[in-house]
Structure 1
Amino acid sequence: MQELPETMKAVVTTGVGGYDKLDYRDVPVPELERGEVLLRVLAAGVNNTEINTRLGWYSSSVRAGTDGADEGEIRDDGGWNDATPFPFIQGTDCCGRIVAAGAEVDASRIGQRVIVRACMRPNGFGDPRTVWLGSDFDGAFAHYVKVPATEAFPVDCDWSDAELASIPCAYGTAENMIARAGVASGMRVLVPGASGGVGSAVVQLAKRRGAEVVGITGAAKRDMVRDIGADRVIAREDDLLEALGAESVDVVVDNVAGPGFGTMLKVLRRGGRYVSSGAIAGPIVELDMRDMYLKDITLIGCTAWDEPVFRNLVSYIEAGEIRPLVSATYPLEKIAQAQEAFGGKAHAGKIVLLPGE
């Protein structure tokens, strides 16, 4: 086994606020406990959640979309599961290599390249409570991270580290929503925000199940969304009801929400399903109850990943059935620039941090 250093570089998020809360510094290398493995982080994806947590967006006091969060206002209830444990190391997406194994872990796992199931169910899959890598405990914005061995999944593929680091949060979230909504061959699925990390994953995963996929994106990204498998692409600026017609969609997979929420229910067919795990355009929406109950619509909230989700993703990767989009990579110490680029929304697919040696 390689000799490990006592300290490592990491980005420590010190509290709610702006980029000044991202402190790149030396910290101790994590010490393993029973059942854990230590990973040398090879790549770590950037997600909305890290930025939202730093800005306190998950607080119930915030009513704007993720672009409108107020930097600098302290919100004690601004985490996924209530209070965020500042200071701590964020980073929900992780591709890493196992370099050490704790007690009760097979030492033969050392050397495996793995991705980490970011959404963990500490009380089993019958209980919806979760803990998240990089939100509830230290994550992958570091040279090393420790995780339960059961949450580190080896993947046999020729993908780059950055490509693998694009999978956990976006594709886990997307596959979970698709499975919960029962997407199947022949269904028509509408995907707002189809050019983003989760949206582009939904497009690919819904197509993999044989669905007809309609994506919504900015006009400049229409070709990209079509290239990853969408059967039809509608510009965000277009009138959706006019473009599709009422009661024309079986499932809406929507992480956008905001002012467009009501229209999503109008384009759903009777008995249709609306599923969401986010609200980047705004968490407070107007719901016409008549659209919901008169059409027998099912509203599905998705945060806790179900047990088959991550194993399914690994199998899709190894079978060559999906491939993520990597927009850009940045060194770990350039995290502020990476998050600024992420917030600018000019990219398509994922932005990934590389810790280096």
Structure 2
Amino acid sequence: MKAVVHDGPAGWDGLKTKEMREASAGSGEVKVRLKASGLNHRDIWVLYRRKETDRPVILGSDGAGVVEHVGEGVEGIRVGDEVVINPSLGWSHTSDAPPAGFDILGSPTPGTFAESIVVPAENIEKKPAHLDWGEAGILPLAALTAYRALFTRGRLQAGEHVLIPGIGSGVATFILMMAKVAGARVTVTSRSEEKRNKALELGADAAIDSEGDWQKSMKDDQADLIIDSVGPATFEKALGRLKSGGRFVNFGASTGESVKLPLRPFFYGQFNLLGTTMGSAEEFRKMLRLVETHQIRPVLDQTYPLSEALQAFQRMKDGKQFGKIGLKID
């Protein structure tokens, strides 16, 4: 079968499309004929974390398709079912942190950038009926990350004000849409006027220039909750717009690994600094219910055929997308 793999030296030189052997579903497993998948920043990070001596691995964490074979001992799933795949492996119940042994599809476990995949039966859920294949294929990882950041870690309540620095990524657009259906007000930031305007069209209440004066733009309208993935480039500006006792949730570090934390404002403000990533199977099911109840549709930036996956990777690397980049798998 055709697949997008990392095979060879660390970085882009190891990224290629090649033929790989199809796996068979064993006991407790399900084989899915994939229809669509989606890129995440994780797919780029994996390229640089692997060694040349590592065995080739199929990349990709997002996917949706049709059940082709059901392994022994699997109940409640039938051949022909239309499903989405939960990329969190070994995390069944909501907890403060993932359990030991937690992993994510797409390295070291074979991922979704292929014509088929075999996964544990507990990682299969019914595809939301209102989503087409392209939308369903880009849903799982980003929507799960957004749901946990907002509701489990961020404890969002209706009527609160959410600030999202750096709007544009798949997770950030999901956070915007989920926060709005939960009854929150949302302010976003971006250096790109185009992305700010798209966020306003998507439902944001305000959109400000990341490089401008946030205090002047927001005036006294401070945030109850900040959901951040930018890191050092905007950290101090964002923290300065948080209400006393507010929550600051981080799930990424797109501009660097370290931030300068001004301790005196931090402890006088009695802020809560929280980390998050991915989520449990329990949270994945709650996310799907929210998506179905409010008919949330993922923001699809562009779709590429599997054979043009390298161009899709380049678009993500360049940071040009607004929403998720999809792969169509025939």
Whole-angstrom distance in 2 between the partners of 1:139 and 1:269: 41
Q: Deviations over 1:41-81 (max 9, x none)?
A: 1111011000111123xxxxxxxxxxxxxxxxx779xxxxx
2:251 is matched by which residue type in structure 1?
Answer: S
Q: Matches of 2:310 and 2:211 in 1, distance apart?
A: 30
Q: 1:41 aligns with which of 34, 57, 61?
A: 34
In the TM superposition, residue 19 of structure 1 has moved relative to its aligned partner by: 3.1
What amino acid is the match of 2:325? I
C-alpha separation between the residues in 1 aligned to 2:87 and 2:105?
Answer: 5
- Measured in 2, the distance between the counterparts of 1:163 and 1:123 equals 25
Name the structure 2 match of 1:310: 284
Structure 1 portions without partners, runs of 5+ = 1-7, 57-73, 77-83
Structure-2 separation of matches of 1:28 and 1:125: 35
Report whether the alignment pairs 1:109 with 2:81.
no
Counterpart residue identity of residue 29, structure 1: E
Corresponding residue number in structure 2 for 1:287: 261
Quote the RMSD (CA, aligned, Å). Answer: 2.1
| Alpha-carbon separation, structure 1, partners of 2:215 and 2:11 | 38
* 1:97-246 map, 5 Å: 97-106=66-75, 109-122=78-91, 125-126=94-95, 128-129=98-99, 130-179=102-151, 180-217=153-190, 218-245=192-219
CA displacement 1:177-226 (0-9 Å, x = unmatched): 00111111111100012222111111001111111100112212222101
> Which secondary structure state, in structure 2, belongs to the residue aligned with residue 105 of structure 1?
coil
How far did 1:309 drift?
A: 2.0
TM-fit CA distance, 1:291: 2.3
Separation of aligned partners in 1, 2:129 and 2:329: 21
Q: In structure 1, what is the Cα distance between the partners aligned to 2:264 and 2:120? A: 46
Question: CA separation in 1, counterparts of 2:51 and 2:244?
Answer: 40
Cα deviation code 1:226-279 (max 9, x no counterpart): 111100011222122332247811110001112211222111111000001111
Provide TM-score, normalisation by structure 1.
Answer: 0.85
Q: CA deviation at 1:123?
A: 7.2
Q: Say whether the 8 Å CA contact 2:86–2:281 is kept in structure 1.
A: no
Q: 1:269 to 1:124 in 2, by over 3 A?
A: closer
Matched-pair contact (CA < 8 Å) for 2:91–2:279: no
Residue 324 (structure 1) aligned with residue 294 (structure 2)? no
Distance 1:86 1:293, change over 3 A: farther
- The aligned amino acid for 2:159 is G
Contact 1:15 1:54 in 2 (8 A): no
Q: Is the 8 A contact 1:98 1:111 kept in 2?
A: yes
1:17 to 10, 19, 38: 10
2:225 to 231, 245, 251: 251
Tell me, yes or no, if the aligned pair for 1:247 and 1:266 is still in contact at 8 Å: no
Mapped contact 1:247–1:270 kept (Cα < 8 A): no
Partner AA of 1:260 in structure 2: T
CA separation in 2, counterparts of 1:108 and 1:166? 22
State which drifts further: 289-298 or 304-313: 304-313
Using a 3 Å threshold, how does the CA distance of structure 1 residues 262 and 337 change in structure 2: closer, same or farther?
Answer: same
Q: 1:63 maps to what in 2? A: none
SS at match of 2:245: strand
Identity of aligned residues (%): 30
Structure 1 residue 157, shift from structure 2 partner:
1.1
Q: Which deviations, in whole Å up to 9, do the C-alpha atoms of 1:259-311 show, x marking residues without a partner? A: 21122211111100000111111121111122222211111111251454211
CA distance in 2, matches of 1:246, 1:301: 26
CA distance in 2, matches of 1:85, 1:139: 15
